[in-house]
Amino acid sequence: MKQIAIVGLGIIGGSFAKALANRLPGRYKVSAIDINQDTLDEAKKLGFIEKGETTNKSILQNADIVIIALYPNLVTEFVVTHQEDFKEGALIVETSGIKKSIMQELLPLIPEQVEFIFGHPMAGRESQGFAFADDRVFLHANYVITPSDKNKAASIEFFSQLLKDLGFGRITISSPKTHDLMIAYTSQLTHLIAAALINSDSTGQNTVEFIGDSFRELTRIAKMNEKLWSELMLNNREPLLEVIESFEKQLANLKQAILTNDKEALEQEFIHSTQKRLALESADQAHEFAKERGK
Amino acid sequence: MKQIAIVGLGIIGGSFAKALANRLPGRYKVSAIDINQDTLDEAKKLGFIEKGETTNKSILQNADIVIIALYPNLVTEFVVTHQEDFKEGALIVETSGIKKSIMQELLPLIPEQVEFIFGHPMAGRESQGFAFADDRVFLHANYVITPSDKNKAASIEFFSQLLKDLGFGRITISSPKTHDLMIAYTSQLTHLIAAALINSDSTGQNTVEFIGDSFRELTRIAKMNEKLWSELMLNNREPLLEVIESFEKQLANLKQAILTNDKEALEQEFIHSTQKRLALESADQAHEFAKERGK
């Protein structure tokens, strides 16, 4: 039986472990490396992994597929430290939320005997750790693969199929540069907006009495892992600053229409936003499945 | 049996009709006035109202409670046109999303024989019309009542109990000024942000391939009724401009931290936003019931 090693049993690694156990029972032997022994014990007790090690002893040597789900800044060190330990012909999956910087750093260091697949599961939870890992977040979710020139087409195809078997919806092939720009817009900017919105509460009132679901939804992701998000954003500054400015301009347009009492301009902006949202919904098969993802 | 008249069977009026039928069957005789005969026919066929009129003939004359759920700019005209038609001692409920301007306008015009309760159900849908009305949106939701000096305590108490019977969670008594500031922040600003976010997409890419649930959630309300929202916002310009600027400042702080590569500042902002969101969640009993509201 082929073996899969998961490195880091947080939200992403933990969700992979749970998805493998729940959706592909018996297909792989799954092990995990995590610095927290309690997490490993828990994952083993619940039947999500067969074996756990706090530092690699024999897991990497036996793994046909390694899924690395560490903080981005820890990935390179992990690979360099363990370059002799990877099994000949292993597929190493790297999952961090930015791609250009990590690929530039890692590509020259990849051990000869393995193949790396860089990519990003567009799925998560606002809470951290194995207890909050949940394979439902993968259901119909997007996954972006950013191939390098060292990838074999067959490996990308094999891994794409595995992702679909684990519940993912759309698998997109992208350049790292495009990925990073898009993620700056769809994910990093949205987190900045949520933080700015909740931090801007200067009303001095008991805000909770005056909220509806729009405020609840727009601030859900204001609860975030500050270390991870700072790292992701500061490794992606150029595209992030670009999309922040683009957003600021649009908000300034709306503000100007309000300032000048320009009803027609305001209505036009809202007609435009409505059209864009409707277009997004009709293109987004995952839209209908938010509840299945527990959102 | 006491009679309730609903004026305007859109999202709010329609949801009141459905909540009355589903949660308090047989307690009131419910009628409706709506300009659309098809909507009235549909509501009657589905058993949500007993009687419908496209312009008032006898409904207001018999109604002990009138729930006005029209666009804010239509409320005053409706009241003035029908000032002779309201039943002696009737309770008139006005539900629009801003309070100061409408109360200033309406208070001098309220007919002697009736009592107005101004307020705002903090519940809605991003789609419009009776077909999308859904009494689940009221479940555990907030309702803000902004009393005038003409209100009797007993009437406010009676109406608050009716709201709880219809599913609302927290009923808050507020001044119109505070209400309008808070709603500028929690509801109008959030809609502006959603519109600005989706309108700022200048990536030229197929955005849908790169989205996760945070982008899906933050743009849900970018689909909006442009006429209603423009009206609400332009009648609430001063507090709205204030909260936009407050938000812009917070976003500028975050941008500055990214520009200067200031990890510590960025982390502090995210710790702050996380704390604020956690505090909100623990104070918000409605938080847990988003799914029951179909959100």
Determine the Cα–Cα distance for residues B230 and A294; give it in Å rounded to an integer.
Answer: 33
Number of other CB atoms surrounding residue A227 within 10 Å: 16
pLDDT-based confidence at residue A295 (cuts at 50, 70, 90): low
Check residue B129 and give its pLDDT.
83
**How does the average pLDDT of chain B come out, rounded?**
94
pLDDT classification of A92: cutoffs 50, 70, 90: very high
Per-residue pLDDT of B216-233, as tens digits, reads 999 999 999 999 999 999
Token digits of residue B55? 């312009």
Q: Which residues of B237-259 are buried (b: 16+ CB within 10 A; e: fewer)?
A: eebbebbbebbbebbebbbebbe
The pLDDT > 90 percentage for chain B reads 88
Query: Per the CB < 8 Å rule, is A194 touching B218?
Result: yes
Q: Residue B145: enclosing H or E segment and its boundaries?
A: strand B142-145
Average pLDDT taken over every residue of chain A: 94
Is the predicted pLDDT of residue B73 greater than 80, yes or no?
A: yes
Taking the CB of residue B129, how many other CB atoms lie within 10 A of it? Answer: 14
Kindly report, residue by residue over B87-100, the tens digit of the pLDDT: 999 999 999 999 99
Q: Is the pLDDT assigned to residue A226 strictly greater than 80?
A: yes
What percent of chain B stands above pLDDT 70? Answer: 99
Helices vs strands, H then E, count in chain B: 12, 8
pLDDT of residue A292: 74
Contact between chains at B182 and A190 (C-beta distance less than 8 A): no
Rounded Cα distance between B73 and B65, Å, is 21
pLDDT at B295 over 70: no
Q: Which pLDDT band holds residue A131 (cuts at 50, 70, 90)?
A: confident
Mean pLDDT computed over A12-29: 96
For residue A293, the chain B residues in CB contact (below 8 A) are: 213
Residues of B in contact with A201 (CB under 8 A): 185, 276
Mean pLDDT of A149-163: 97
Q: What average pLDDT does this structure show over A107-122?
A: 96
For the residues A248-269, what does the mean pLDDT come to?
98
Q: Which element (helix H / strand E) includes B272? A: helix B263-283
Flag whether pLDDT at A234 surpasses 80.
yes
Q: What would the pLDDT profile of B111-152 be if each residue is shown by its tens digit?
A: 999 999 999 999 877 778 888 888 899 999 999 999 999 999
Query: Chain B residue closest to A244 (CA)?
Result: B255
User: Which domains are present in chain B?
Assistant: 3-174 (3.40.50.720), 179-259 (1.10.3660.10)
Per-residue pLDDT, averaged over B69-81, amounts to 94
CA–CA dist B221, B223 (Å, integer) = 5
Q: What is the pLDDT of residue B127?
A: 76
Average pLDDT in the B37-55 region? 97
List all residues 6 or more positions away from B40 whose beta carbon is below 8 Å from its beta carbon. B9, B32, B34, B49, B52, B53, B54
pLDDT interval class at A132 (50, 70, 90): confident
How far is Cα of residue B14 from the mean position of the Cα atoms in its chain? 13
Q: Which residues of A touch B223 (CB under 8 A)?
A: 273-274, 277-278, 281
Q: How far is B57 from chain A (nearest CA, A)?
A: 34
Question: Cβ separation of A223 and B259 shorter than 8 Å?
Answer: no
**Which tops the pLDDT comparison, A153 or A202?**
A153
Residue A49 main-chain phi, psi, to 5 deg: -135, 155
- Alpha-carbon distance B248 to nearest alpha carbon in chain A (angstroms): 8
Which pLDDT belongs to residue A102?
95
Give the pLDDT score at A263: 98
Nearest to A213 among B212, B259, B293 (CB): B293
A 10 A CB-CB count for B2 gives 10
Closest chain B residue by Cα to residue A254:
B192
* Band of residue A242 on the pLDDT scale cut at 50, 70, 90: very high
- Whether the per-residue pLDDT at A70 is higher than 70: the answer is yes
Q: Looking at beta carbons, which residues of chain A come within 8 Å of B191?
A: 214
Q: What is the pLDDT at residue A243?
A: 97
Residue A202: pLDDT band with limits 50, 70, 90: confident
pLDDT of A210: 95
Q: What percent of chain A has pLDDT over 70?
A: 99
Partners of residue B187 in chain A, C-beta under 8 Å: 212, 214-215
Q: What single string gives the DSSP state of each residue in A20-80?
A: HHHHSTTTSEEEEE-S-HHHHHHHHHTTS-SEEESS-SSHHHH-SEEEE-S-HHHHHHHHH
